[in-house]
Amino acid sequence: MSRFLICILLLLGSLSQQIHAQTTPIERIYLFKIDRDIDPAMNRRVKLALENATKEEADLIIIEMDTYGGAVNDADDIRTMILEAPVPVYTFINKDAASAGALISIASDSIYMAPGSSIGAATVVSGTDGSAAPDKYQSYMRSMMRSTAEATGRDPKIAEAMVDEKIEIEGISEKGSVLTLSVSEAIKYGFCEGEYRSIDAILEAQGIEDAEIISYSVSGTEQIISFFLNPAISGILILIIIGGIYFELQTPGVGFPLAASIVATILYFIPYYLNGLAENWEVIVFVAGVILLAIELFVVPGFGIFGILGIIGIFAGLVLGMLPNQNFDFQFVPAEQLFTALLTVILAAITAVGLIFWLTPKVNSWKAFNTITLATTQDRGEGYTSTFYPESLKGKTGVVHSRLRPSGRIEIEGEIFDAYSRGEFIEQGEKIVVISTEGTSLKVKKLEG
| Max mean pLDDT range (73-77, 80-84, 130-134, 223-227) | 80-84
Q: Which of 186-200, 266-280, 296-310 has the highest mean pLDDT?
A: 186-200
Across the strands, what pairs with 397? 433
Q: For the ranges 59-68, 123-132, 236-245, which has the lowest average pLDDT?
A: 123-132
**On the CB side of 189, how many CA atoms lie within 13 Å of its CA?**
23
Cα separation, 149 vs 423, in Å, equals 81
Angle at which helices 231-250 and 220-228 pack, to 10 degrees? 70
Q: What is the model's pLDDT at position 127?
A: 61
Give kind and range of the element (H or E) at residue 90.
Answer: strand 89-98
Inform me whether the pLDDT recorded for 381 exceeds 80: no
Structural Rg of the chain based on CA atoms: 35
Please indicate whether residue 27 or residue 252 has the higher confidence score (pLDDT): 27
What pLDDT does residue 54 have? 94
Q: What is the pTM of this model?
A: 0.66
| pLDDT exceeds cutoff 90 at 13 | no
| Separation of alpha carbons 352 and 348, rounded Å | 6
Task: Tell me the C-alpha distance between 129 and 98, whole Å.
Answer: 18
- The answer to whether residue 223 scores a pLDDT higher than 90 is no
pLDDT band at 122 (very low <50, low <70, confident <90, very high): confident
Count the Cβ atoms, other than its own, within 10 Å of residue 335. 13
Percent helix / strand / coil, the chain, rounded to 5: 50, 20, 35
Amino acid at residue number 341: A
Burial 102-115 (b: 16+ CB within 10 A, else e): bbbbbbbbbbbbbe
Q: Percent of the chain beyond pLDDT 70?
A: 84
Helix (H/G/I), strand (E/B), else coil: 67: strand
Question: In a 3-state reduction of DSSP, which class is residue 404?
Answer: strand
Contact 408, 419 (CB under 8 A): yes
3-state secondary structure (DSSP) of residue 422? coil
Distance CA 420, CA 418 (A): 7
Query: Residue 22: its pLDDT value, please?
Result: 45
Give the total residue count for the chain: 449
Alpha carbon of residue 37 to chain centroid:
16
- Which alpha helices (DSSP H) does 162-230 contain, by range? 183-188, 199-205, 220-228
The backbone torsions φ and ψ at residue 324, rounded to the nearest 5 degrees and listed phi first, read -85, 40
Q: What's the mean pLDDT in 124-146?
A: 80
Alpha carbon distance 419, 409 (integer Å): 5
Strand segments (E) across 239-394 = none
From the list 211, 30, 187, the residue with the least C-alpha distance to 113 is 187
pLDDT band at 134 (very low <50, low <70, confident <90, very high): confident
Cis peptide before 406 (omega within 30 of 0): yes
Buried b (16+ CB within 10 A) or exposed e, 376-385: eeeeeeeeee
For residue 152, pLDDT over 70 is answered with yes
First and final CA of the chain: distance in angstroms? Answer: 115
Please give the pLDDT value at position 376: 56
Is the distance from CB of 172 to CB of 161 less than 8 angstroms? yes
Q: Which DSSP letter does residue 186 get?
A: H
8 Å CB contact between 162 and 180: yes
pLDDT in tens, 311-357: 899 999 999 998 888 777 777 677 777 888 899 999 998 988 888 77
For the chain, give me the number of helices (H) and strands (E)?
Answer: 15, 13
Distance CA 446, CA 403 (A): 12
The residues facing 213 across adjacent strands are: 29
CB 408 within 8 A of CB 420: yes
